[in-house]
Amino acid sequence: MLKSKFIDVIRTFSKDELKEFRDFVYSPFHNSNKNVIKIFELIKKHSPDYTTDLIDKEKLFNKIYPGKKYNDTVIRILLSDLLRLSEEYLALKRARKYRFGDNLSLLEELRDRGLDSLYHTNYKDTLNILSEIDDTRTKYFSIFELEVVNVDFHLRRDKQQQISSNVLNRVENLVYFMLIEIVRNIQDLVINENTFNAKFDFNIAYEFVKHFDFKAILEKLKQHRPEHYPLMLIYYNLLNTLMKEEDEAAYDRLKTSMESYFSRMSKEEIGRLTHYLESCCLLRMKHNLEKYRKEIFHVYELMLEYGVYSFGTDEMNAQRFKNIFIAAININDINWAEKFIEKYTVKVQPEYRESMRYYSRALIKFIKKDFNGALADLNKVKNDYFILKMDIKSWSLKIYYELNYFEQAFSFIDSYRHFLSKNISISPVLKERHLSFLKFTSELMRLKSKADNISLQNITHDLSNNNNVVHKDWINEKIKELESPGK
């Protein structure tokens, strides 16, 4: 049986990529070892699955070196050479896809060799490539990199007087890139603080934005560089929305500035910005649940409208499917949710497609009070997708409660608690959310089954003071039912 990183890489190759890689391996420029070619051809015969228990190292060795004693080191070296070649191939393939990097390297080489006429021709070609870059952030940094090479080219030829505008262009594009990148990274820091309870003794990014007069820079841009103003305004509004969580107007300004700019954005940029808008909604739900449930649903509608629910593929990530579906459920738009299942389940990653179909159908049945049907569908969901594991458990417990299956429910709660306590991959915040849910559901069941003299008033009081609990709406609904039985 063969365990090799090269096998992991080659499994990802399409038929066309495998043909390209074969040419790459056979090229004397990249590989001069004929035995590397031989082992590649032997492994390639097992395409496309490359079942490792059918690829035996000793058999490979005997076919490459017939009659010689097996030497594991020799095989490992050949496999290591193949891995190196596969990595070089992937790097070259990526560089060719994004021609700017190739052209920049060529310009540096032409500059160093004194091939000035070719340099100028390729510089113009590189400018054309820049005009094709859709992502503004990438374009800003690419222009900066190009101007670094171009300014250096002229300095070496003692032509400083020709490049004043290039020097300014270089630093301006670096500033635009820096402002965007700082806000993007602050967004990541804020999410880590809120989702994983991350704490930092000192955060220079926060210190920078506290002391940096972004607003004053925006005013100058509006006056002198109006073409850059709308995007910089968006990132300024994003920064304020992240740093001033309870400021409702900050979010509204961000949303307005984004949507007014969409017509001038690339699909990739719309995708990135709607992702930021989604994060802002999630962070703000603890302050105004009703508003941001509606807002996040609107964000998902935008993602679907512009086809930016995933990057670089038409497939929909299972987590994205779940989030969009739950957003519709949370605003009680069941009709929309059912149409969404029908239209978009086929776009979910194939390995999760059926699970997401059964999961979403189960929740629809639960809302329609078909609890037995909901439980049957939940039981058909494959339990190997971690995020769904948590959901399946919480929704199953809700079903047990609705069906008065208290004996099964209390047993289920014990295993649920054990799962939470033993699973180190669950963040403390998420763990606490589910433990709180178990606490309140357990108390409600004891009260409903009259197994305990728990005060409904105490449960209500405790719940009102706890914002970190999953299915809080449902718990509140069950409290009201117990307060007014028969209604």
What is the pLDDT, as a whole number, of residue 286? Answer: 85
| In a shared domain, residues 356 and 418 | no
**Kind and range of the H or E element at 180?**
helix 164-195
- 93 lies in which domain range? 5-97
Q: Which two tokens stand for residue 486?
A: 């028969």
315 torsion bin: left (phi>0), alpha (psi -120 to 50), beta (else) = beta
Question: 278, 308, 338 — which closes off a domain?
Answer: 308
| In a shared domain, residues 149 and 272 | yes
| In a shared domain, residues 405 and 484 | yes
What is the C-alpha to C-alpha distance for residues 227 and 184, in angstroms, rounded to an integer? 21
| In a shared domain, residues 363 and 236 | no
| In a shared domain, residues 427 and 464 | yes
Residue 103 lies in a domain: no
Residue 456 lies in a domain: yes
Residue 185 lies in a domain: yes
| In a shared domain, residues 147 and 253 | yes
CB half-sphere exposure, 445, CA atoms < 13 A: 23
Residue 128 lies in a domain: no
Looking at the 3D structure of the chain, how many domains does it have?
4
**Kind and range of the H or E element at 432?**
helix 428-448
What is the pLDDT, as a whole number, of residue 219? Answer: 97
What's the per-residue H, E or C state across 33-98? CHHHHHHHHHHHCCCCCCCHHHCCHHHHHHHHCCCCCCCHHHHHHHHHHHHHHHHHHHHHHHHHHC
Task: Return the residue matching tokens 């940029």.
Answer: 269
Residue 236 lies in a domain: yes
Residue 183 lies in a domain: yes
| In a shared domain, residues 375 and 391 | no
User: What secondary structure does DSSP assign to 101-124, as a single string?
Assistant: HHHHHHHHHHHHHT-HHHHHHHHH
| In a shared domain, residues 169 and 75 | no
Question: 47, 74, 97 — which closes off a domain?
Answer: 97
What is the C-alpha to C-alpha distance for residues 163 and 171, in angstroms, rounded to an integer? 13
Question: 261, 287, 308 — which closes off a domain?
Answer: 308
Task: Return the residue matching tokens 């059964």.
Answer: 358
Q: pLDDT 10s digit of each residue in the chain, 487 long? A: 567 899 999 999 999 999 999 999 999 999 999 999 999 999 999 888 888 667 888 989 999 999 999 999 999 999 999 999 999 999 999 888 778 988 999 999 999 999 999 999 999 999 999 998 888 999 999 999 999 999 999 999 999 999 999 999 999 999 999 999 999 999 999 988 887 777 888 999 999 999 999 999 999 999 999 999 999 999 999 999 999 988 999 999 999 999 999 998 889 899 999 999 999 999 999 889 999 999 999 999 999 999 999 877 789 999 999 999 999 999 999 999 999 999 999 999 888 999 999 999 999 999 999 999 999 999 999 866 676 888 999 999 999 999 999 999 999 999 999 999 988 878 888 899 999 999 999 999 999 888 777 789 999 999 999 988 999 999 999 999 998 876 5
Helices 456-464 & 472-483, crossing angle to 10 degrees?
150
| In a shared domain, residues 143 and 281 | yes
Residue 92 lies in a domain: yes
What is the pLDDT, as a whole number, of residue 452? Answer: 73
| In a shared domain, residues 57 and 31 | yes
Residue 33: how many other CB atoms lie within 10 Å: 14
Residue 114 lies in a domain: no
What is the C-alpha to C-alpha distance for residues 416 and 435, in angstroms, rounded to an integer? 9
| In a shared domain, residues 273 and 196 | yes
| In a shared domain, residues 159 and 220 | yes
Q: Which residues pair with 316 in a beta bridge?
A: 348
